[in-house]
Structure 1
Amino acid sequence: MVEVTATPQSSLADRPVQVQPDTLFRRLVKRDVAGSPFVVRLEVFDGLRLVTGPQDQPLASCEAERWYVGPGMQRVPIREGRVRGALFLPPGPGPFPGVIDLFGGAGGLIEFRAGLLASRGFAVLALAFFAYDDLPRTLAQLDLEYFEEAAELLLRHPKVRGPGLGVVGVSKGAEVALAMAAFLPQVVATVWINGTAFLHGNPLVYKDLRIPPIPYYTERVIFTEVGALDNSAIFADPRDPAYSASAIPAEKVRGKVLFVVGEADRSFNSKLFAELAMARMPPESCRLLSYPGAGHLIEPPGSPLCSISSIRGTPRPVVWGGEAQAHARAQEHSWQEIVQFLELHLGPAATMKL
């Protein structure tokens, strides 16, 4: 048996999941991406061990460091106008293709994917949009002008190569990314990971436009045997004509969109939303990667499957879904496809590799 533990070297937020009541549903996320690596210890035992004790000695062991930024990477805190986030710049004069990186309903600022993308030669803005710094603590609405301001800020940077940029988003961030692709001409390459093609929970506003959300049916929440929330059935059927006004107008997308779907997503029916968006788009402008057995949180390769975790704003842990091997394969394959997609439509990135 191989037992893997990850031991970060710095902040409390980076502590690994412990199988104890107070940390049972904690998600392993690297917070201090520029300061220290995760230290992964691999131990090989003779036979299966569900729990190891001091009497169990491994046959062999080793440690490996998991870094999230390459050598010479620059992290620049962003606090300009309304925009809040962190800009990751590869070493060298540039210019580099620009990418905005968005996460979902947990809010805050999550930087590990931005660091990894920047380590592959992109200038990446990890963008917060609520529950961070002086941004609103809760998400009442999506103000697309905020994201437009972020896009313009990134493209003004002397080390960023225009005229277009890419956006990568997961969950609520994927919803935002698709809306940016539909309304902002600066967005030419969009990676949509397990999101929706309709507004849900919060309206979107942009200048004089307001797109209403699909309602939640909270009475449809399923409580699992461990007390976690399965939200896969809480949405109204987006195919109902009554909700047509909530659709993101994907037919207005000028650039290209890569849809990445985990078919075992227990947060919502991501594959249905991807197919509904693609039905409104020219076939040559979009592509679908759909992975049986993969859950909601499809992350870069080497990230452990998180099938259930606590999340800000919910009273109980949330089920994300996914099967370990299938999810790992999806992360490995989709990451290579994402990097190639961004390089194809934004131009070649720098040659450095992590």
Structure 2
Amino acid sequence: MILAKGPVRSREKRTCEEPDFSDMVILLVSPEISLVDEPVKIQASGLPPEKVITLRAWLKDEKGQIFHSRAFYKTDMEGNVDLETSPATGGDFHGVCPMGLFWSLKPVIPFLRLMKRDVMGSPFSLHLELYTLLVLTPLPEDSPAATKVIERWYTAPGVQRTLIREGRVRGALFLPPGEGPFPGVIDMFGGVGGLIEFRSSLLASRGFASLALAYFAYDDLPGYLGEMDLKYFEEAAQFLCAHPKVSSDGIGVVAICKGAEIALAMASYLPQVAATVCINGTNAVNGNSLIYGDLALSGIPYKAERFLITDFGSLSLLNFLDDPGKPEHQDSILPLEKARGPILFLVGDKDENYNSLFFAREANARAVKYGKKDVYLRCYPGAGHLLEPPGSPFCSASQSTFFPLPLTWGGELVAHCRAQETSWKELQEFLRKNVRCSRRNKL
């Protein structure tokens, strides 16, 4: 718990009847050091009763860019504010929202996305500031009445990270502390490419052996995503199953966007995959063709002429993917009924990057048609495309390496971030239930 004190600055001259609240303001935060997917309790006391105040949060990312948020509160009759019970009256959100200052962090420079790259070396240092006035500017000139700094980590103590260069496989393996064996998970992201590790480090912090797998635009992998060879992903699955600290009974796969398409292909064709979580993905091969030995699935052509440019100048890909139900696209649909294990689709119904709810419903209908009973769909009203672990602030649009305009992700602040809290728990429960973890035979 952090206790921060400071003088209350006022632009008005105090009268003899007014109590002096200088040095009485207390800002409490608990815990002061935590993983980013853990909630934080924020309270303030020692303030004038029924006074409007501003709580502001800010941090610098690893490139020095500032992300900030603020909310206005009215103190109670005792001069207290408790974010678990006190409603925000305005600012970046309103209503009772204990984690709202974290959820609503946004960049000073538009269309930047907050993403942790170095998950092992340092946390995000989040600054919380209390002002006894309304703060309307992004960078206030007034001094805060109280401040504190908390640490938000992406890796729990004892988690180990190893860069992987095994055969063609490129990635980073995160192992929980202990001897294991641990349930193994392959973790992939989408069209941004590169190696993204923050979800894997959190999964390892929660007891999974997680391989953050890159598949293009990283190291000696191709700079762009061309033909997708499922043999590469099979090699990654074999590597993870063979690791001495990973259960050999089968692995899980967690992926979003284009990665979710690949995850569904892995589930359909690879016997190592015991459970699959597809976050806002599709039910067919799109754009890039998929090969696996003698098997070849042509990608459904993208419809670039359907791009929409929003009023904010970002690009919506909502209609970029064609309907896989058309007769000419039947051979591109992934045969999920062949999957060894269960499949969980996590979907935001306000996704503006993919029509992911439509694709998930199509996948579910196919499962019913072929008698596969362990395909599940969880739809989150108001959630957008970037369903990430809790603590990841809401991002409605951000810059993209492969497009000239920022991409629109969609969603509504509070609904989306609550969906992140719920889906993160459901994702872990699904993996723990369906990725078995047996002891290996000792030689």
**TM-score range for the pair, normalised by the shorter chain length:** over 0.9
Measured against aligned partners, the alpha-carbon deviations of 1:215-261 in whole angstroms (never above 9, x if no partner) come to: 11111111112221111012222221221111111111110111100
For 2:57, give the aligned amino acid.
V
Correspondence 1:8-87 to 2 at 5 A: 8=61, 11-12=62-63, 15-17=65-67, 19=107, 23-46=109-132, 48-87=134-173
> Does structure 1 conserve the Cα–Cα contact (< 8 Å) formed by 2:122 and 2:153?
yes
Partner of 1:164: 250
- The secondary structure found in structure 2 opposite 1:280 is helix
What is the rounded CA distance, in whole Å, between the counterparts of 2:66 and 2:250 in structure 1? 38
Measured against aligned partners, the alpha-carbon deviations of 1:257-281 in whole angstroms (never above 9, x if no partner) come to: 1110000000111011111111122
What is the rounded CA distance, in whole Å, between the counterparts of 2:314 and 2:254 in structure 1? 28
Structure possessing the higher relative contact order (Cα contacts under 8 Å, 6 or more residues apart): 1
Select 2:402's aligned residue among 313, 322, 328: 313
> Does structure 1 conserve the Cα–Cα contact (< 8 Å) formed by 2:249 and 2:437?
no
The more displaced of 237-246 and 294-303 is: 237-246
Q: Find out whether 1:258 has 2:311 as its counterpart.
A: no
- The secondary structure found in structure 2 opposite 1:326 is helix
Distance 1:247-1:50 versus aligned 2 partners, 3 A rule = farther
- The 4+ residue runs of structure 1 with deviation greater than 4 A are 14-20
Partner of 2:28: none
TM-score, with normalisation over the residues of structure 2? 0.75
Q: Find out whether 1:100 has 2:153 as its counterpart.
A: no
What is the rounded CA distance, in whole Å, between the counterparts of 1:54 and 1:224 in structure 2? 30
- The secondary structure found in structure 2 opposite 1:43 is strand
For 1:136, give the aligned amino acid.
P
Larger Rg: 2
Partner of 1:190: 276
Partner of 1:352: none
Select 2:435's aligned residue among 337, 343, 346: 346
For 1:155, give the aligned amino acid.
C
For 2:263, give the aligned amino acid.
A
Partner of 2:213: 127
Distance 1:47-1:266 versus aligned 2 partners, 3 A rule = farther
For 2:413, give the aligned amino acid.
A
Measured against aligned partners, the alpha-carbon deviations of 1:317-354 in whole angstroms (never above 9, x if no partner) come to: 100001100001000000000011111111469xxxxx
Q: Find out whether 1:239 has 2:325 as its counterpart.
A: yes
Query: Deviation of residue 24 (structure 1)?
Result: 2.0
Query: Deviation of residue 62 (structure 1)?
Result: 2.3
Number of corresponding residues? 344
Partner of 2:29: none
> Does structure 2 conserve the Cα–Cα contact (< 8 Å) formed by 1:16 and 1:28?
no
> Does structure 2 conserve the Cα–Cα contact (< 8 Å) formed by 1:250 and 1:278?
no
For 1:153, give the aligned amino acid.
F
> Does structure 1 conserve the Cα–Cα contact (< 8 Å) formed by 2:396 and 2:408?
yes
Query: Deviation of residue 187 (structure 1)?
Result: 0.3
What is the rounded CA distance, in whole Å, between the counterparts of 1:19 and 1:28 in structure 2? 8
Partner of 1:301: 390
Distance 1:52-1:150 versus aligned 2 partners, 3 A rule = closer
TM-score, with normalisation over the residues of structure 1? 0.93
The more displaced of 58-67 and 184-193 is: 58-67
Query: Deviation of residue 204 (structure 1)?
Result: 0.7
Percent identity of the aligned residues? Answer: 54
The more displaced of 215-224 and 47-56 is: 47-56
> Does structure 1 conserve the Cα–Cα contact (< 8 Å) formed by 2:250 and 2:436?
no
Query: Deviation of residue 98 (structure 1)?
Result: 0.4
- The secondary structure found in structure 2 opposite 1:213 is coil
> Does structure 2 conserve the Cα–Cα contact (< 8 Å) formed by 1:85 and 1:126?
yes
What is the rounded CA distance, in whole Å, between the counterparts of 2:134 and 2:417 in structure 1? 21
What is the rounded CA distance, in whole Å, between the counterparts of 1:49 and 1:239 in structure 2? 52
Gaps of 5+ in 1: 350-354
